[in-house]
A and B are shown apart, each in its own frame.
Chain A
Amino acid sequence: MPPRSLPPFDEKHRRLLEACFRREADPTAPIPGDDVDLIETGILDSMGWVSFLRAIETASGAGDLGANLHEQSASFAVLLTALRHANSAAATAGRSYSSPVLAHSSAGVVVASAASAVGSRIISSGEVDRAYGMPVGKLRSRAGIESLAYVAENENELTLAATAAQDALHSACCGAQQLDWIIATSETHHDYPSLSAQLHSRLLVRENCGALDVGGACLGLLNAFVVAQSLIASGQAQAVAVVSADVHSRTLTPGRVAGEFGGLFGDGASAFILRGVPRNDSSEGYLLGEFLFGCAGQYASSIQVSDSKDGALFVRFDGEALSRAAITRMDKVVAAVELRSGIPRSSVGGFATHQPNPRLVALLAKQCGVSPDTFPPVARNAGNLGSSTCGAALHAALQNAAKLPRGNRRPIFLASLGPGLLFGGGWLTPHENGK
C-alpha cells in the first residue's frame, strides 16, 4: 500500500474540502490527490482557486485561511494542514470552528480599543435656544449645556459610526477582516439596510462577519456590550466591533418637538473593539466585568416618542419626573454594580454613564457621593448623544486611564437608562498581566 502524504487526521475537514471543491469545479469532477496543485494542473484557475478558498472559509469558520497560505501550493494537503492548524489555534483560544463551546480557557473579554466622534458643527446653546424660540440662556441655565454637536450636511449615522470604528480598529491594530461580528446600536437610524449592515459594507469586513443591530435607545451600548461579551464567551467570536451612532438633529427639530426636549440632544458615535483574551495574556486594555439589566415600568410614561400618521413626531416628555427617576435609578444601578463587583465606588476611576444633561450628571455625582470629575463631560459640550453618550464617556474614561501608569489604573463603572424605563450597569477593570 503506498504511503499516504497525510495522516487521516480529520475526515470531517476532508469531506468539507471535497464538497467545496465539487461546488467550484464540477459536481462530477474526480477528487484530485492530496498533493496535486490545482492551479498548476489547470484544474482551477486563479479565480476558481480564490473562490474555492472563500467557500472553505465560510464553511469551516476559519475566516483567515487564505491569508495564511502564501507561497504554498494550491493542494488539498496544504488546505487540510491549514484547517488543522486553524482548528487547534481556535481551540487554544477557547473556541471551536465547528462546534462552539464555552471558553473555559479564556480569561475574559477585553476592550482592546475605543473611539468616539461627534458632529462637526458645534452650535452654542444660545443659538439652539433661539432656533427653538426659547429665551436665550435657558439650555445653559436649566440643563448646563454650553454647546451642541450637530452633523454637517455630508454627515450621518453611518459616517460618524465608520469614523469611530476605523479609529478604534486602528488603535487596536486590528484589521477589519479580523472582526467576527459588528454589533451596532442607534436610537435615530431607522433605515434599511440597517446601520450594522451599512457598516459591514463600509468597513469591508469579511463577508462571513455577522452584523447585528440591538435596540434600547440610550441603553443600547450596554445591550450591545453584553451581546458581544456573550458571543466571545460562547466561542462564536474572537473579535467584535461594538458601534453606536445617533443623529438627533435631523429628527428632533424646531417645530417638530419642544426645545426643552429637542434642545438637549446632539449627534455622535462611539466604537469599541472587544476581544477574547486567553489566560496569561499581557496585552493592555480593560476587562469587561458582569452586566445587570432591568426595567422600571412605573416610569414608562415619563418619556414616550412615536411617529404619527401625518409624519409628525409624538413626544411625551415629563422632564421633572424623568429627572427624578433617572437619578434614583442610576444611583441604584451604581449601588448594585458596587455590590456585585465588590469594587467600592470610592475606588472607581471613571463613571461612564448616560448623561441626559450636565445638570443631572452633577446631581448624580452628588447622590452617589463621588467627585463630579469622575464623570467625563460629554453632554456639556456635545449634548445628549443618545446611545453614544455612554460610549463617548467610556472612551474619555479609557483615555484618562491610559495616561496613568499601568498599575495605577482604576476600575470604570457603566450605568445607563433607556425609555421604559430600562436600566443597566456593569464594570470594567484594568487588565493586569495574566489576571
Chain B
Amino acid sequence: MTKLLITEITRMGPAFCVIGLQREKENIQSIRPIPTFANGWPHFPFHRGDILECALAPFSGTKPHVEDRVSTRGFEKSSTVPESETVTYLRKAEMAQSLPNLFDCSIHENKKGSGLFAMPHEAKRSICGCETQNLRLELCANELRATLALPSGEALRDLPVVDRDWREFIEAALSPGRGANRAARLDRFLNSQFHYKIMSCPHHFIRLGLTRPFHDLCWLMLDTLFPLPRPEWLEEF
C-alpha cells in the first residue's frame, strides 16, 4: 500500500485529475494516481490534505506525465493534515524559481495569442511548485485565468485555473442566486481583498502543471493555489 498526501484536485473536462505526495526516505515526490480506464476520476470525494492509502502500479505513460501511476483499487482515507502543513510538504517536493526550471525545459509563448506551452518530449515532469511575487486571477469572458510573477521576475500570463476548489468558489460567486452585478462584484473582490488574503497568507503557494499533449503541445496551467478559498469570503462581496 502507498500513502499519498493529496495536494492537487483539478478539473479536467468532466473529470478530476488528482496528484499527491509520496515520501520515499528523505525524498518527497509527486504521484498522479489514475484509474485503469482513463486519465481522470469521474468522482473524487476527497480533499486536499487527506492522506489516502492506495495500491499503485507503474504506468508507462507518455512524457512529460512521468508522475502517472495506475491505481489498482480504491482509496482509503487514513488521516488529514492541515493546509499549512500540506504546503510545508509541497515546498520539499518539486520546486522552481524560474520559468525554464519549472519543467526542466524551454517554455514557449503562443505566437498567435496568449498562453505558454512546453514541448512534450522536452519536459521532464508535468507538475512543479513555486513561490510567487504576485498573483492575479481574472475572469476573461467566462474563463478563469491567472497571471503571476515568478521569483525570477518572469511574468506568466493567462494560465487557465483548473484548481477544483477555486473553480467552485468562482462558480458559487457567480451563481444567479447571489443577485445583480455578480461578475463586477467578483471582479472587485479579485482585485482588492483577494490580493491581501492570498499574498499575505504565510502558506501562500502555487503549483503549475502541464496539460496532456494537445496538438503536440503541453499548455501551462495553474493546478493549485494555496490558501484554498473559504466559503465565508462569499459573504464579503
For the complex, what is the distance from the CA of A198 to the CA of B158, rounded to whole Å? 18
Interface size class of chain A, counting residues whose CB lies under 8 Å from the partner chain: 20 to 34
A204 touching B134, Cβ below 8 Å: yes
Tell yes or no: B168 within 8 A of A by CB.
no
For the complex, what is the distance from the CA of A72 to the CA of B153, rounded to whole Å? 35
One of B42-50, B58-66, B120-128, B144-152 contacting the partner: B144-152
B147 touching A204, Cβ below 8 Å: yes
For the complex, what is the distance from the CA of A69 to the CA of B145, rounded to whole Å? 14
A53 touching B160, Cβ below 8 Å: no
> Chain A: which residue is nearest B211 at the CB level?
A47
B154 touching A201, Cβ below 8 Å: yes
For the complex, what is the distance from the CA of A211 to the CA of B216, rounded to whole Å? 35
Q: Which of A52, A67, A72, A170 contacts B113 (CB 8 A)?
A: A52
For the complex, what is the distance from the CA of A53 to the CA of B115, rounded to whole Å? 12
A201 touching B143, Cβ below 8 Å: no
Q: What string of 1s and 0s marks CB contacts (under 8 Å) between A57-98 and chain B?
A: 000000000110111101000000000000000000000000
For the complex, what is the distance from the CA of A47 to the CA of B140, rounded to whole Å? 11
Determine the chain A residues whose CB is within 8 A of the CB of B183 once the complex forms.
Answer: 67, 70-71
Interface size for B (C-beta < 8 A) is: 33
For the complex, what is the distance from the CA of A48 to the CA of B110, rounded to whole Å? 10
Q: Which of A67, A176, A198, A200 contacts B187 (CB 8 A)?
A: A67
Determine the chain A residues whose CB is within 8 A of the CB of B157 once the complex forms.
Answer: 207
B138 touching A201, Cβ below 8 Å: no
B143 touching A50, Cβ below 8 Å: yes
Tell yes or no: A325 within 8 A of B by CB.
no
Tell yes or no: A213 within 8 A of B by CB.
no
Tell yes or no: A32 within 8 A of B by CB.
no
A51 touching B153, Cβ below 8 Å: no
Determine the chain A residues whose CB is within 8 A of the CB of B135 once the complex forms.
Answer: 204
For the complex, what is the distance from the CA of A49 to the CA of B183, rounded to whole Å? 19
Determine the chain A residues whose CB is within 8 A of the CB of B38 once the complex forms.
Answer: none
Tell yes or no: A173 within 8 A of B by CB.
yes
Determine the chain A residues whose CB is within 8 A of the CB of B110 once the complex forms.
Answer: 51
B149 touching A72, Cβ below 8 Å: no
Tell yes or no: B219 within 8 A of A by CB.
yes
Given A66-B140, A202-B134, A23 and B112 contact (CB-CB distance below 8 Å): yes
Tell yes or no: A301 within 8 A of B by CB.
no
A72 touching B114, Cβ below 8 Å: no
For the complex, what is the distance from the CA of A170 to the CA of B196, rounded to whole Å? 10
Determine the chain B residues whose CB is within 8 A of the CB of A72 once the complex forms.
Answer: 141-142
Determine the chain A residues whose CB is within 8 A of the CB of B72 once the complex forms.
Answer: none
Q: Name 7 interchain pairs, CB-CB below 8 A, sorted by A.
A: A50-B140, A50-B158, A74-B141, A175-B191, A198-B153, A201-B154, A202-B153
A70-B141, A201-B155, A204-B147 given. 12 additional CB < 8 A pairs? A47-B114, A50-B115, A50-B141, A54-B113, A70-B183, A71-B142, A74-B141, A74-B142, A166-B195, A173-B192, A177-B136, A202-B153
Residues of A at the B interface (CB closer than 8 Å) are 23-24, 46-55, 66-67, 69-72, 74, 162, 166, 170, 173, 175-177, 193, 198, 200-204, 207
Q: Which 6 residue pairs are nearest across A and B when measured between Cβ atoms?
A: A51-B113, A175-B191, A66-B140, A70-B183, A201-B155, A69-B141
